[in-house]
Structures are given as structure tokens and as C-alpha cells.
Amino acid sequence: MIDFDGFGPEKIFEVYNAKVGMRGFTVIDSTALGPAKGGIRMTPSVTADEVARLARAMTWKCALADLPFGGGKSGIVADDRNITPEKKNEIIRAFSEAIKPICPSLYVAAPDMNMGEEEMGVFVKANGNYKSATGKPSKMCAKPGKECGIPHEFGSTGFGVFHAAMVALEHMGLDVSKMTVAIEGLGNVGSFAAKYFSEAGARLVAVSDSNGLLYNKDGIDYKKVAAVKEKTRSVVNYKPGKVLPSNEIVEVKVDVLVTAAVPDLIKPSNVDKIKARLVVEGSNIPATPDMEEALHSKGILVIPDFVANAGGVISSYAEYMGKNPDGMFKLVKDKIRKNTDIVLKHSEDRKLTPRAAALEIARDRVLRKCKTCRVDKITGKK
């Protein structure tokens, strides 16, 4: 069941096309700061409740990134592994046409699970408005050579994760070139984080995927491991290195642990085994607030997901405003660094976990503009 509180959600749309077999949801959590922003995920099990929780996360993420966007999210109930590409595109077109009354006036779409740049191209063409979605193919332009798409495959999220980590290390008085790093997941986020950490002089000693964990205390060449992953579909085939179970990535003795794959990675059974000094949440909800509190009490600094992985939505804003990729990367760097710094200083001043500090800042930014909220500025209660 969807939870309603003093912030929202403002609107919930459920759409269905019997002829095509399309069923989907769009949740507009908040438009206090601007049109609701959030990706479309396509899975056979997606629900309105799941979409609502993700939409709320986007409200905080956009507010903390200091963007003129509210929070929203969409879901399409379909299994893209068991349908043809043609059928998938037919479903996307039907969904796009169904939510035209709210998109892009109240909601701006983007890629999420099983939806990439090509799918965004299909969505936008069906909608008929270039600004109805971001994360479009770079060849898709509003005008020839101007206002072109900036796909998330450019690596904006991993780039932002790296810069959030850099600010955290500066706050801790640590030199990145002397750090050891472990990265959970070598997908779009983890691969780019590995690249930027390695280029900054850090030693990458552990990477994982669903097939296992590769560990080498002497260091892993990120270019070679990425090539192995591309060729063999797993990091465990990289040599030399020790192969361990994937879930042991949190137990590796490193300075920096970057989460970039599964939710709930850090849990009661392993939270006390974490040896990293800094945990940077590149993935969504890799730990509950209670687990983050446990790490905080042990002196481990945690940069929360909606602070660290906001590079994707900042990239979306850059595309929405017609910037080129260079302008996008500059905006991601500037905003991630600025907001991570603000959160860490607020955390220290208020003696809060970074997540609690970030939520206070995000809520305050929404409340300043919200005309319909019924929420106490400090507690967030009705």
C-alpha cells in the first residue's frame, strides 16, 4: 500500500492498453521545485508501491542536488527477456502515449532498469515532445547539432560517485593516491568509478559481479578487468587474482568501499565485518538507515546514495537545459562536490549521520517552495 504523508505523493497514474498488453504506473511525488523527474523501469514485478517509494527518493535526490525538479518515477509491467524488441518498443510507445497529458508538463522521464538510451528515443518519438525524457541517444537532437541527447552510458553517475568520494576523503584528511578501493559491481556506475579512482592514483584491489569477487592486494588494472568483463561476462576471469564469493566484497580490508550494484548489500549479518574507512553508496538503498547508523557509530563515514549517485539526474538536467557532454560533466562535478561538502559540514555541526543531515537539507529545500505540504520542518512528521 502506498504511504501518503505531508509531502505527497501528489498524483498517481495507472495506465493500461488492452490491445497492446501494456500496464504501467507513474507516480508524481512532488512538483514543489519543478516538474517531477525520474526514470522508467520495466520489470514483470514492478508495482505502484515500489514506484511511489522510488519517486520519493527522487524528490530528495533532486532537492539535494539543488535542481529545479521534483520527484517522480514510472514502471511498466513487462519482462523484456521474454518479448521481442519489436514488442518491447510497442509497449513503450503505448505507455508514452498514455501519459502524454502529464509528460512533460508535470513529469519528465529517463532510463531506469531495462530501459536505455534507445528506449528513450522510442518514448520521445511517441510522445512528440523532445523534452519529455532525458537520457536520449546522442544522435537524437532537437535541432541539427544542437540540444542533443546525453545518454547515461556516458558514465555521469560513476563520475559523480568518484567526486563525492574525493570530497569525503578531503574531509577525512586522506590522500586518494594512497587509498585502496573495492568496488561492488562493474556495471555502468562501478566501471566508471573504477576508472576515475585508478586515474587519480588509488589502488583498485577488489571488484565483484554476480559471479564472484576478484581480489588482488597488489592492484587490478581497471582497463584490463573491464575488457575481461566485456569478453567473458565476469570479472572472475581476470588474472592474477583470488576469486571469492560476491558477498564478501564488504569484508575486504580497504580504505574505500564503493557499492554499485545490489540493494541491501550491507545488513546485520555483515555490518560488523566492514573494514573500510569510507563507504560511498553508488547503488540505491545498499543499506538501511539503521545499518548506516551502525557504521557511523564505528567511525566509518558513509556517503548516502541520494548524495553520491545524483550524477545521473544532474546529467538529465544538463540535457534538459541543452548542454553538451562537456558542460554536463562540469555541472555534475560542481554540484556533487558542493552538495557533498554541505552535507558533511551539516552532519558535523548537527552531530547527525550524513543521511539524516542530507534529509534535513532536502526537506528544508522542498518545504521552502511547497504550498500544500503539512510537515514539520525539522521532524518531517505530519
Each residue of 176-223: pLDDT tens digit?
999 999 999 998 899 999 999 999 999 999 999 989 999 999 999 999
Same domain, 102 and 239: no
* 173 domain-assigned: yes
Which residue, among 144, 155, 250, has the nearest Cα to 206 in the 3D structure?
A: 250
Query: Helix (H, G, I), strand (E, B), or coil: what is residue 166?
Result: helix
- Domain enclosing residue 44, as ranges: 11-149
**pTM of the full predicted structure?**
0.90
pLDDT in tens, the chain (382 residues): 888 999 999 999 999 999 999 999 999 999 999 999 999 999 999 999 999 999 998 999 999 999 999 999 999 999 998 999 999 999 999 999 999 999 999 999 999 889 999 999 999 999 999 999 999 999 999 888 778 999 888 899 999 999 999 999 999 999 999 999 999 999 889 999 999 999 999 999 999 998 999 999 999 999 999 999 999 999 999 999 999 999 999 999 999 999 998 888 999 999 999 999 999 999 988 999 999 999 999 999 999 999 999 999 999 999 999 999 999 999 999 999 999 999 999 999 999 999 999 999 999 999 999 988 886 544 444 3
Handedness of CA 271, 275, 278, 279 (dihedral sign): negative
Same domain, 82 and 118: yes
* 330 domain-assigned: no
User: CB–CB of 108/132 below 8 Å?
Assistant: yes
Helix axis angle, 188-199 relative to 222-232, nearest 10°? 160
Where would I find the beta strands (DSSP E) of the chain?
11-17, 22-30, 36-37, 40-43, 70-77, 107-108, 141-143, 146-148, 180-184, 203-209, 212-215, 242-244, 256-259, 278-281, 301-303
Cβ partners under 8 Å of residue 233, min gap 6: 211
- Domain end point (choices 149, 172, 195): 149
Same domain, 164 and 296: yes
Domain count, the chain: 2
Same domain, 34 and 114: yes
Query: Grid coordinates in use for 304?
Result: 548516502
Same domain, 172 and 217: yes
* 200 domain-assigned: yes
What is d(CA 52, CA 192) in angstroms, rounded to the nearest whole number?
Answer: 29
Same domain, 255 and 134: no
* 289 domain-assigned: yes
* 276 domain-assigned: yes
Q: Is 153 left (phi over 0), alpha (psi -120 to 50) or beta?
A: alpha
Same domain, 120 and 99: yes
Query: Helix (H, G, I), strand (E, B), or coil: what is residue 47?
Result: coil
* 320 domain-assigned: no
Residue where the block lists cell 519543478: 34
Q: Is 66 left (phi over 0), alpha (psi -120 to 50) or beta?
A: left
* 34 domain-assigned: yes
The CATH number assigned to the domain holding 172 equals 3.40.50.720
Which residue, among 226, 353, 227, has the nearest Cα to 295 in the 3D structure?
A: 353
* 233 domain-assigned: yes
Same domain, 161 and 304: yes
Same domain, 133 and 270: no
What is d(CA 119, CA 137) in angstroms, rounded to the nearest whole number?
Answer: 9
What is d(CA 373, CA 186) in angstroms, rounded to the nearest whole number?
Answer: 40
Same domain, 78 and 101: yes
Same domain, 108 and 68: yes
Rg (CA), the chain: 20
- Domain end point (choices 103, 118, 149): 149
Handedness of CA 95, 100, 101, 107 (dihedral sign): positive
- Domain end point (choices 308, 325, 351): 308
Q: What is the pLDDT of residue 381?
A: 42
Q: Among this protein's residues, is 73 annotated catalytic?
A: yes
CB atoms within 10 A of CB 100: 14
What is d(CA 320, CA 150) in angstroms, rounded to the nearest whole number?
Answer: 9
Same domain, 118 and 242: no
Q: Which of 37, 73, 323, 333 is catalytic?
A: 73
The CATH number assigned to the domain holding 98 equals 3.40.50.10860
